[in-house]
Amino acid sequence: KISPDTPSNGQLNSGLPKCPINPPNLYGKLQFHFNQTPPSFEWTAQNNRNLKPGGFYNPPNCIARYRIAIIIPHRSREIHLRALMWHLHPILQRQQIYYKVYVIQQAYNLEFNKAKLMNIGYLEATKDDSYDCIVFHDVDLLLEDDRLLYHCTNTPKHLSVAIDKYGYRLPYPSLFGGVTMLGIDQFRDVNGYSNMFWGWGGEDDDMFARLFTRGYSITRPPYQIAKYRMSFHHRDKGNKLNLLRYEILSNTVTKMMRDGLNGVKYSVVGVDKTPLFTNITADVGTAI
Ligand code: UDH
């Protein structure tokens, strides 16, 4: 159980106070505009001098209440990643979180498997450090209001409730994709994501079914602050609509304890601690 009264970042004897429950320096509604050319990684790094290599931050003046791994599944979306890094780092710092950003890059130009990348992100991040919860973050979603706190809660949380592309409305009630947050133990309890979704769609609905099956209910913050802007894109090459997704989804309940974190096959091709994120390139194999 995650309690905001359980600081866990190893600074207990540092004499620092715990960070306040309500971060004092939030901006509220955010104004931003990238005009297709977000700042370079170098520029963002120069403007985030408090970051440690690998995209790690620990508030300097208080003990963070939450330790969070941010996992971004990624391939060939560098412009979006540049925008997200510029945008997200200052928000998380204003929210006084102990965090590290992991970009999980799929090696080679084979069919995309976002769910596998997220499983890999979880496994690699939890080997790297101890975290209270994990945020899975699409690379193209930019938060519009920093009062939406990336603070851990006791229930799995769907953060990207209102996205501009969908008219700031939730497309359907069981949606659990985009930006989501789970406790470290909750993710393990549902055996993570399925590894079987190749191409676009299905893995998020499968996760919802896993959570439901294990008795979790999800929460959503109010749509007035859980607002995101989606960076423009067409469907990516190597990520075509997965026509098998409904068939796989029909077996979630029977297969979830065999198909997930406990059976993910991959090899890490490279790890690079850049100033803004830890880049992990992984070979996830192919569907057959
Ligand atoms: N992603 C990549 N590279 C890819 C595919 C997906 O990095 O080649 C990641 C990225 O983090 C992205 C996430 O996976 O934010 C989700 O993929 P998506 O953006 O394709 O999914 P979304 O539901 O888009 O946002 C739906 C298809 C849009 C088609 C638009 C046609 N007008």
Catalytic position from the list 129, 233, 247, 258: 233
d(CA 178, ligand 1 centre) in Å: 9
pTM of the predicted model as reported, rounded to 2 decimal places: 0.94
Q: According to the model, what pLDDT value does residue 244 have?
A: 87
Judge whether 118 counts as a catalytic residue: no
CA Rg value for the chain: 18
Confidence of residue 11 (pLDDT cuts 50, 70, 90): low
CA distance 96 to 21: 10
Mean pLDDT, residues 1-9 taken together: 52
In the predicted structure, residue 148 carries a pLDDT above the cut 60? yes
**Does 234 score more than 90 pLDDT?**
no
Please choose from 79, 143, 239, 241 the residue to mutate so as to test ligand 1's pocket, defined by most ligand atoms within 8 A of CB. 239
- Report how far ligand 1's centroid is from the alpha carbon of 96 (Å): 29
CB 103 within 8 Å of CB 279: yes
Residue 135 pLDDT > 80, yes or no?
Answer: yes
Average pLDDT over residues 32-55: 93
- In this predicted structure, what is the pLDDT of residue 71? 98
Neighbours of 41 (CB within 10 A): 17
Q: Copy the structure tokens of residue 204.
A: 């998020």
Is the Cβ atom of 106 under 6 angstroms away from ligand 1? no
Mean per-residue pLDDT, 283-288? 89
**The total number of residues written for the chain in this structure:** 288
What distance in Å separates the CA atoms of residue 11 and residue 27, rounded to the nearest whole number?
Answer: 27
| Nearest-angstrom CA–CA distance, 66 and 153 | 10
pLDDT digits (tens, 9 = 90+) for 204-217: 999 999 999 999 99
Ligand 1 pocket member 77 (CB < 6 A): yes
pLDDT above 90: percentage of residues in the chain: 83
Average pLDDT on 122-130 reads 98
* pLDDT reading at 1 higher than 70: no
Predicted confidence (pLDDT) at residue 35 exceeds the cutoff of 80: no
> Are 28 and 71 within 8 A, CB to CB?
no
Please, are residues 167 and 187 in contact by the beta-carbon 8 Å criterion? no
Better pLDDT: 65 or 250: 65
> SS in 3 state form for the chain?
CCCCCCCCCCCHHHCCCECCCCCCCCCCECCCCCCCCCCCHHHHHHCCCCCECCCEECCCCCECCCEEEEEEEECCCHHHHHHHHHHHHHHHHHCCCEEEEEEEEECCCCCCCHHHHHHHHHHHHHHHCCCCEEEEECCCEEECECCCCCCCCCCCEECCCEEHHHCCCCCCCCCCCCEEEEEHHHHHHCCCCCCCCCCECCHHHHHHHHHHHCCCCCECCCCCCCEEEECCCCCCCCCCECCCHHHHHCCHHHHCCCCCHHHCCCEEEEEEECCCCEEEEEECCCCC
Does the annotation mark 203 as catalytic?
A: yes
Asked about 138 being catalytic, the answer comes back as yes
The pLDDT assigned to 3 comes to 54
How high is the pLDDT of residue 8? 53
Residue 94 is predicted with a pLDDT of 98
Q: What pLDDT score was predicted for residue 112?
A: 94
Q: Grade residue 12 by pLDDT with cuts at 50, 70 and 90.
A: low
Q: Do residues 95 and 254 lie in contact, with contact meaning Cβ atoms separated by under 8 Å?
A: no
Instruction: Give the β-pairing of 98-106 and 278-283.
Output: parallel
Distance of alpha carbon 134 from alpha carbon 101, whole angstroms: 10
For the purposes of burial, counting CB atoms within 10 Å of the CB of 5, is it exposed (0-12), middle (13-18) or buried (19 or more)? Answer: exposed
pLDDT the model gives residue 127: 98
Res 246: pLDDT: 85
Structure tokens that stand for 135 in this block: 């945020």
pLDDT over 70, % of the chain: 95
Ligand 1 atom with the smallest distance to the CA of 72 is 11
- Mean pLDDT, range 114-124, rounded to an integer: 98
